[in-house]
Structure 1
Amino acid sequence: MSVQPGWYVDPADPETRRYWDGEGWIGAPIPVDATPPEGPPPVEPPPPPVSPAAPAGHPAAPPPPAGPFPGPQPGHAPGPGAHQGPGYGPPPGYGHHGPPPGYGQHGPPPGYGQHGPPPGHGHPQGPPPGWPYPTWPVRPPQPRPHGLPLAGYGARLVARLIDLGVVFLLNVVVNGWFVWRYVEEVTPYLREAWRRGLANNPSTEGLPQPGEQAGGLQIAILLIATALWFAYEVPAMAGNGQTLGKRLMGIRAVPMEADQPLGFGRALRRWSTLGLPTLLWYCCGLGLLLQLVDAVSPLFDQPLRQALHDKRALTVVVQLPRTPGAGTGTAAPHDPANPPGDTR
């Protein structure tokens, strides 16, 4: 599953929110109730290098002189062994003693260089937002896309049955004449085949064939039925993610990456996976079989309960809050602590 970059609740710690860049978590976590910044978190600078500490009991070495050693000063005699050249020479006694005991024999402080990168550096391992974390000791909580619970199977089924009822009524009005003509063309054949079946007569000789217009009428009926379904569902889903059935059941389809309208392209991809197989009913009911597989697919999908048409359009179906506006497609105002794009 590809999840768009954004701030999401971390599945490993639901009390924090982190930034998902499309491949992994980056940046330090923030409290789940805090308002996340716009865009990705700032890049954390690497920690400054730690200098080795001086050994205990030894004073720090003085800084080296900035220039050549000064020569003898007026009124001061050079020390024994000092170089008598004008303006040059080490200080008295320099070079007669080695470095202080232990100097250069100590390594870096304990643990220096053994620590990894700072927290949030690179791409920490972890599942994408909305996925169950693999180390939950008990059953992980159900995902809440954009802070809303997933719609139940029963609510989705009832909503789909309502929509199919509306499409059927539209077909009765628009497609009724074509269906009546098709029945007239095939009735003689069906009546004689039924009579022979009751008489246990398997012979097909002499059966009256369907009329010449039967094939054309069947194609016209399927084309009109598909067009009516398209006109009913796609514009409504593109606008607010709800058909009449979804509106009555208080559920809505939303994109996975943000709580926003589906748009025409996404609504078309979602409908075509379920609606276009209607044209294949002509092929021994193949289209109907494909639609049944799509209809039951949410029962076997975890954790987002996506049907095949949801997976193609990258959408999820959520249950809207039970507010006075429920059932009318009006959702509760967004919580500032849960901006669009949150998945938990």
Structure 2
Amino acid sequence: MSVAPGWYLDPADPDTRRYWDGEGWLGAPIPAEATPPAGPPPPEPEPEPEPATRADEPGPSAGQPSAGQPSAAAGHHAASGSGTPPPGYGPPPGGPHPGPAGGPPPGAPYPTWPGQQPEPRPHGLPLAGLGARLVARLIDIAVVLALNVVVNFWFVWQYIQQMSPPIAEAWRRIIDQDTTTEPLPAAGDQAGGLQIAILLIATALWMAYEVPSMASRGQTFGKRVMGLQVLPVSAAAPLGFGRALRRWNTLGLPTLLWFCCVGFLLQLIDSLSPLFDRPLRQALHDKRAQTVVVQLPRTPVPKDRPAPPGDTP
């Protein structure tokens, strides 16, 4: 998968940034600590042609380039647009050879280089931190749990009543240290149906809470609180209902399998998968929907905001 266009650290000079257009580096570098422009750099002006050599002037000696004709090595570095590389710098062993514009050919994996690889910035935005994503998910879980308390309470209460005989007997045996081998009393006849109804309602509430908001804004309530947004990898656009549903059902549908603990295990693996994914920190549901979670910039406080009453000297 190719990396989205944006400003990244120059692998040839980590103290500078350059613009990656998806296939190669463009424009002149800027200092790494400088704020990059919102889009690609402006095109560089074409160099003025060198004046023609007069007939009475001595020409260059054999094997020596003329003033207007750079050497092959200099031409190669100029074509790459990254200046003279440091000693020993080049494509990694076994890695793809840089393309004609200094980047990999279309479809090749993103190149690597010695040292720490710069973190991608999809659509010019930083990737969301794992801690912020966890807090946002916990907020969403709390909201969905509150909805279940309101909608699912009667079914849960009836299920507890159906399961009370075996639970009460098991608890009595633990308290009395009863070692009898007699089987526990059977649960009520409606216990199985109530369990299915509870899981269906819980899954439907989760889908109704998350999918529409993700389709239109790329945010749930928890993600809005934490300043996160989900965007497609291919373009900075709304997810749409189909992509939002694909993203949710990878994580949400295993709720129907909670009765045998398989569903919870699948959801745990999905939730932990961003810890091991590079470079975009995608969970399994992000990979299926081809989405990425980014951190939105915080709105700066305007400097010309009027002071509160009483603060003026």
Shorter-chain TM-score above 0.5: yes
Q: 1:154-208: per-residue Cα shift (whole Å, max 9, x none)? A: 2111111110111011111111111111000000110001111333334452521
How does the TM-score come out when normalised to structure 1? 0.62
Structure-to-structure mapping, 1:1-344, within 5 angstroms: 2-3=1-2, 7-9=5-7, 12=10, 15-20=17-22, 25=23, 29-31=26-28, 33=37, 36=40, 119=79, 126=104, 133-136=111-114, 138-283=115-260, 285-323=261-299
Whether contact under 8 Å (2:231, 2:237) holds in the other structure is yes
Whether contact under 8 Å (1:186, 1:210) holds in the other structure is yes
Shift of 1:218: 0.2
Whether contact under 8 Å (1:11, 1:132) holds in the other structure is no
Task: For residue 281 of structure 2, give the secondary structure of its aligned residue in structure 1.
Answer: coil
Shift of 1:10: 6.1
Shift of 1:289: 1.2
**Distance of aligned partners of 1:258 and 1:212 in 2 relative to their CA distance in 1, 3 Å threshold:** same
Task: For residue 317 of structure 1, give the secondary structure of its aligned residue in structure 2.
Answer: strand
* Structure 2, unaligned runs of 5 or more: 29-35, 44-57, 66-71, 81-98, 302-313
**Distance of aligned partners of 1:160 and 1:10 in 2 relative to their CA distance in 1, 3 Å threshold:** closer
Runs of 4+ in structure 1 off by over 4 angstroms are 6-14, 31-37, 108-111, 114-125
**Could you tell me how far apart the structure 1 residues matched to 2:138 and 2:173 are?**
37
- Which of the two has greater helix per residue? 2
Q: Which amino acid aligns with 1:323?
A: T
**Distance of aligned partners of 1:324 and 1:175 in 2 relative to their CA distance in 1, 3 Å threshold:** farther
**Could you tell me how far apart the structure 2 residues matched to 1:187 and 1:159 are?**
36
**Distance of aligned partners of 1:290 and 1:204 in 2 relative to their CA distance in 1, 3 Å threshold:** farther
Whether contact under 8 Å (2:79, 2:101) holds in the other structure is no
**Could you tell me how far apart the structure 2 residues matched to 1:253 and 1:216 are?**
37
Shift of 1:232: 0.1
How does the TM-score come out when normalised to structure 2? 0.68
Larger radius of gyration: 1
**Distance of aligned partners of 1:298 and 1:200 in 2 relative to their CA distance in 1, 3 Å threshold:** same
Whether contact under 8 Å (1:239, 1:262) holds in the other structure is yes
Q: How big is the alpha-carbon RMSD for the aligned residues of Structure 1 and Structure 2?
A: 3.5
**Could you tell me how far apart the structure 2 residues matched to 1:256 and 1:182 are?**
44
Shift of 1:3: 3.6
Shift of 1:110: 8.4
* Structure 1, unaligned runs of 5 or more: 42-56, 58-107, 326-344
Whether contact under 8 Å (1:11, 1:127) holds in the other structure is no
**Distance of aligned partners of 1:18 and 1:152 in 2 relative to their CA distance in 1, 3 Å threshold:** closer
Q: Which amino acid aligns with 1:143?
A: P
**Could you tell me how far apart the structure 2 residues matched to 1:251 and 1:29 are?**
29
Whether contact under 8 Å (1:3, 1:257) holds in the other structure is no
- Aligned pairs, number: 248
**Could you tell me how far apart the structure 1 residues matched to 2:123 and 2:176 are?**
63
Relative contact order, CA 8 A, sep 6+: which one is greater? 1
Shift of 1:109: 8.5
Q: 1:94-130: per-residue Cα shift (whole Å, max 9, x none)? A: xxxxxxxxxxxxxx9889xx8999947768653989x
**Distance of aligned partners of 1:139 and 1:245 in 2 relative to their CA distance in 1, 3 Å threshold:** same
**Distance of aligned partners of 1:123 and 1:29 in 2 relative to their CA distance in 1, 3 Å threshold:** closer
Q: 1:68-101: per-residue Cα shift (whole Å, max 9, x none)? A: xxxxxxxxxxxxxxxxxxxxxxxxxxxxxxxxxx
Shift of 1:35: 5.1
Whether contact under 8 Å (1:239, 1:263) holds in the other structure is yes
Whether contact under 8 Å (2:139, 2:222) holds in the other structure is yes
**Could you tell me how far apart the structure 2 residues matched to 1:109 and 1:324 are?**
59
